[in-house]
Amino acid sequence: GEKVEQHESTLSVREGDSAVINCTYTDTASSYFPWYKQEAGKSLHFVIDIRSNVDRKQSQRLIVLLDKKAKRFSLHITATQPEDSAIYFCAARDTGANTGKLTFGHGTILRVHP
Amino acid sequence: GPKVLQIPSHQIIDMGQMVTLNCDPVSNHLYFYWYKQILGQQMEFLVNFYNGKVMEKSKLFKDQFSVERPDGSYFTLKIQPTALEDSAVYFCASSLGRRTEVFFGKGTRLTVV
C-alpha cells in the first residue's frame, strides 16, 4: 500500500521567512495530495491540495509543488506569520480507488518565532 | 465552513468494556471515515463507509471494531471489547465524494485503563 514520508519532523523559522515541508510517496497511482494544518486542541483543517495534472498550485502565501517523477511534493509557506505555527500533515490519495482513503505523513511541527 | 462534530472529546474506559464513539458528519456528505492517531505517531486509516457499507478497512480495524450509521444519524465506531492498545485519538472525517476534500472532526481521545 501507499506510504507517505514527511521529511521534517520539526521546523523553526523566523517570522517573515519561508518554510518548506517536503513529502515523498511510493504509489504511482496516487494522484491527489492535500495538506492539513492542526493547531493545538483543534481538528485538522484543510489548507491546500494539488492534483497530478498540475505541478504547481498557489493560494495566497501557500505554494504546493509536485514532482511526479520523483514522487515528491512540498508545501512552501512564504512570509510566515506566528499564526502559521501548527502541525502540518501531508497526505496522498489514489483517486482511482473506490474508497477516498488518505495516507498521511507523520506531521511537521512548524514554529514561527519573532 | 463545514464541520464534523465528534462526541465526546475524551473518554476513559475500563479494559474489556464497550465504547461507542460518535460522529456527526457534514450534512450532505456521503463518504465517512475513521482514522486513529497514537500520540506522537502519524494518522492511520481505519475504515471508510459509503452507502451503508464498509468500503475498505485497514489491518488496524480489528474484529472488535464495527461501524454503522443507522438512519442517517451519527456515524459511530464501536469497540467491543476494548484493549489497552486501543488508547489513541480517533478522528472522524467525511467527504461529499471519494475525490473531494475531506473534512475532519476534532477527534475523541480514548483512554483504556
User: pLDDT tens, B23-73?
Assistant: 999 999 999 999 999 877 789 999 999 999 999 999 999 999 999 998 778
Q: Which residues of B touch A100 (CB under 8 A)?
A: 31, 33, 48, 95, 97-99, 102
Which run of H or of E encompasses A77? Answer: strand A72-77
Q: Do B99 and A46 touch (CB under 8 A)?
A: no
The tens-digit pLDDT sequence of chain A (114 residues) is: 889 999 999 999 999 999 999 999 999 999 999 999 998 877 889 999 999 999 999 999 999 999 999 999 999 999 999 999 999 999 999 876 677 899 999 999 999 999
Q: Which residues of B touch A104 (CB under 8 A)?
A: 35, 42-44
> In chain B, what percentage of residues exceed pLDDT 90?
84
Question: Which of B60, B16, B7, B15 lies closest to B36, judged by CA?
Answer: B60
Euclidean distance between CA atoms B18 and B87, whole angstroms: 13
Report helix, strand or coil for B51. Answer: coil
Q: Which three three-digit cell numbers place residue B109? A: 481521545
Question: Which of A27, A25, A28, A13 lies closest to A85, judged by CA?
Answer: A13
Q: Which residues of B touch A105 (CB under 8 A)?
A: 42
Q: State chain B's mean pLDDT as an integer.
A: 93
Question: What distance in Å separates residue B102's CA from the closest CA in chain A?
Answer: 8
Q: Do B48 and A101 touch (CB under 8 A)?
A: yes
Question: Is B16 within 8 Å of chain A by CB?
Answer: no
Q: Rg of the Cα trace of chain B?
A: 13
Euclidean distance between CA atoms B108 and B65, whole angstroms: 16
Euclidean distance between CA atoms A29 and A52, whole angstroms: 10
Residue A4's pLDDT is: 96
